Chain A
C-alpha cells in the first residue's frame, strides 16, 4: 500500500518540478490517469503474485516477467545467428562440392530450429490478418446486399442466426479434416495448419461485420434514398455516393469487432489444434512446466493483449482515414 501512495504522490510532484506543469496538468486526464491505472495494476499484481504458489513455483510478478522478455528476445537473436551460421556453412559446403564436381546439383536444406517467440508472434499476426481479410471480403458485400435487399436479407438471415452463435472452435475439427482432404498439393504455398487457422478465424470474423454492415446499410436516412431516387442515380453511384459513406461507421464497428474476436479465437484455435502461433507457444510452455514457464506464458498473455490493442488502433486509424466526418469522436 505504501508503494501505491508514493506512486500517487510522486508522479505529479516530478512533473511540477520539471517545469512542464502547464502541459502535463492540462493533459492530466489523458496522460496521467492511464499511467496511474497502469502503476496501480503493476503494484497489485506484484503484491498478489507473491502470495500465490503453484506447482510450477511462485506466480511470476512484473520483475520475473520482464526478465523473460529479455530472455525470449535473446533466444530469438541466438536462433537467428545459428540459422545464419547454418546457411553460410551450407553455402560453403555446396560451393566446395560444385567446385569438385561441376555436375553436382546443390541441395538446399532449410534450417530446422524451433520457432522462437517472435516467429510465433509473426505467424499469429499473419494468420489473423489473412483470415480477417478473407472474412471481410465476403462479409462486407454480403452485408451490403442484405441491407439493400429485403429478399436477400430474408434468405440469408436464418443462416446468420444459425451460425452466428456457434463457437468457431466447434468448427475446428471439421475445418481441419476438410482442409487436409481438399488442400492437397505437392508444393503447398501455405502450410495446412496455416490454412486451418486462417479459415477458422474467417468463420468467426464473418458475422459481426456482416450483421453490422447490413444494419448500417438498412438504416440509411430515407431522405437520402429519396434524393438518390429523384436524381435517378445509377446503382453504382447509389452505392458509392449514398450507401457506402453513410454506412462506413457501422461497417467499421463490425470490422473492429470481427478483428477482436478473430484474434481471440486464433489463440484458442492454435492451442487446440497445435498450429504454430502464440497459442502453441502458450501451450508448449504449459506442457514444458519449467520454473520460467509461467513467466513466459505471462509474457505471451501481455503480448496478445498488446497486439489486440494495436490491431484495434490500426483499424481505428483506417476508419479515420476513410470516414467523411473528421470531427466525430471515434472510440
Chain B
C-alpha cells in the first residue's frame, strides 16, 4: 500500500487575498492507484479545481504535497495532461495542428511520419478524423472537447486530469463523450481524475467518487467505491438497484450532509435567508464536526 501511483498528502493551500491569506484547502489526503478512474464531486467553490490544479502543478500547495510515482510534483508537465473545461484549443491552429503542438513538445526525437501517425491515431480515438483541417471555431462544442481530449491523450500522460470536461455540453453530446471516454479508458488504462457536477456521470464513469466538503479549508469528506462491473451500459444501469444506491449516497452527501443553499434552488426563500445569516458559523461547525 505504500507504493501508490499518485498520492496527495496533507495538501493545503492559501490564496493571497487583500484581506489576508485565504485557506481554500486543508489536509487533503488521497491515494490513487494506477489505471483508476476517480471523480471529484462537491459544491461549487469548494476547491475541486484547486485540487486538480495542484496535481497538475499549476498551483503550488502551501502545505503537504503531491507525489507521482515516487517523485514530488511541483511544476506542470505533460505526464499530467489537463483537459480544460472550455476545451482551450488554440483558435489559430487547426484540429490537427492543435494535437501536433502537443505531440511535438512531448515526443521529441520521433520521426515526422511516426508523429503524424500518432496524431491521427489519437484523433481517431475520439472520432475526429473527419475534421483534421477544421479550425476550432468551425466545429461544435462537443467536437472541441473531443479534440481537447485527443490532445491530452497524445501526450501519453500518466494521469489525465479533467476539469468538468463535459460541463458545457448538452445531455446527448455529453452521453456520447462519456461513452467515448469509457472506451478509451478501457483500452488505454490511464489514471483519470475528473471533476464533475453531475452525479450520474460520476457514478457511471468512476471507480471511486471523492466527495469534498464545503470550503473554506475544504477537505475530502467521503470516498465512495463504485463496484459496478465494467463495461458499463447506461441503459442497463438505469434500472440497477446498486447504481441507484450509489447515486443516492452521493446525493445524500451533497444535499443533506453538505447542504449548500446557493445551489439548492427548490428550498425557497426562507432557507436562503437563513443561510445568508448563518453561512460562516454553519461552515465552521461543519469543519469541526468533520475533523472530530
Residues in chain A within 8 A of chain B (CB atoms)? 221, 223-224, 226-227, 229-234, 237, 241-242, 245-246, 324-325, 327
Residues of B within 8 Å of A242, CB to CB, are: 90
Do the beta carbons of B82 and A226 come within 8 Å of each other?
yes
Q: Which residues 76-108 of B sit at the A interface, judged by CB distance below 8 A?
A: 76-78, 80-82, 84, 86, 88, 90-93, 101-102, 105-106
The reply on B186 being an interface residue by CB < 8 A is: no
- B163-174: CB near A (< 8 Å → 1, else 0) gives 000000000000
Query: CB within 8 A of A241: which of B57, B81, B90?
Result: B90
Do the beta carbons of A327 and B90 come within 8 Å of each other?
no
Contacts A224-B88, A231-B78, A232-B105 supplied; 11 other A-B pairs, CB < 8 Å:
A223-B88, A224-B90, A226-B56, A230-B78, A230-B155, A232-B76, A233-B105, A234-B105, A241-B93, A324-B92, A327-B137
Residues of A within 8 Å of B124, CB to CB, are: none
- What is the interface of chain A mostly: helix, strand, loop, or mixed? helix
- What is the interface of chain B mostly: helix, strand, loop, or mixed? loop
Do the beta carbons of A223 and B78 come within 8 Å of each other?
no
Residues of B within 8 Å of A229, CB to CB, are: 57-58, 75-76
Measured between C-beta atoms, what is the minimum distance from A321 to chain B in Å?
Answer: 14
Residues in chain B within 8 A of chain A (CB atoms)? 56-58, 75-78, 80-82, 84, 86, 88, 90-93, 101-102, 105-106, 137, 155
Do the beta carbons of B80 and A230 come within 8 Å of each other?
yes
Q: Which 9 A-B pairs have the closest CB atoms?
A: A324-B92, A223-B88, A229-B76, A245-B92, A231-B105, A230-B76, A223-B84, A230-B82, A227-B88
Measured between C-beta atoms, what is the minimum distance from A159 to chain B in Å?
Answer: 28
Do the beta carbons of B90 and A232 come within 8 Å of each other?
no
Measured between C-beta atoms, what is the minimum distance from B158 to chain A in Å?
Answer: 13
Do the beta carbons of A325 and B155 come within 8 Å of each other?
no
Do the beta carbons of A232 and B84 come within 8 Å of each other?
no
Residues of A within 8 Å of B86, CB to CB, are: 223
User: Total contacts A to B, CB within 8 angstroms?
Assistant: 58
Quick one: which of A223, A226, A227 has the most chain B CB within 10 A?
A: A227
Do the beta carbons of B105 and A237 come within 8 Å of each other?
yes
Do the beta carbons of A232 and B77 come within 8 Å of each other?
yes
Do the beta carbons of A241 and B58 come within 8 Å of each other?
no
Q: How far is the CA of A229 from the CA of B57 in the complex (A)?
A: 9
Do the beta carbons of A227 and B84 come within 8 Å of each other?
yes
Do the beta carbons of B78 and A232 come within 8 Å of each other?
yes
Q: How far is the CA of A231 from the CA of B93 in the complex (A)?
A: 15
Query: CB within 8 A of B92: which of A223, A237, A325?
Result: A325
Measured between C-beta atoms, what is the minimum distance from A211 to chain B in Å?
Answer: 23
Residues of A within 8 Å of B58, CB to CB, are: 226, 229-230
Q: How far is the CA of A324 from the CA of B106 in the complex (A)?
A: 25
Listed A/B pairs (21) with beta-carbon separation below 8 Å:
A223-B86, A224-B88, A226-B88, A227-B88, A229-B75, A229-B76, A230-B56, A230-B76, A230-B78, A230-B82, A230-B155, A231-B101, A231-B102, A232-B77, A232-B105, A232-B106, A233-B101, A241-B90, A242-B90, A245-B92, A324-B91
Do the beta carbons of A230 and B137 come within 8 Å of each other?
no
Output the nearest chain B residue to A245 by Cβ-Cβ distance.
B92
Residues of A within 8 Å of B57, CB to CB, are: 229
Q: How far is the CA of A14 from the CA of B155 in the complex (A)?
A: 65
Residues of A within 8 Å of B93, CB to CB, are: 241
Residues of B within 8 Å of A223, CB to CB, are: 84, 86, 88
Measured between C-beta atoms, what is the minimum distance from B75 to chain A in Å?
Answer: 8
Measured between C-beta atoms, what is the minimum distance from B103 to chain A in Å?
Answer: 10
Residues of A within 8 Å of B105, CB to CB, are: 231-234, 237
Q: How far is the CA of A237 from the CA of B105 in the complex (A)?
A: 9
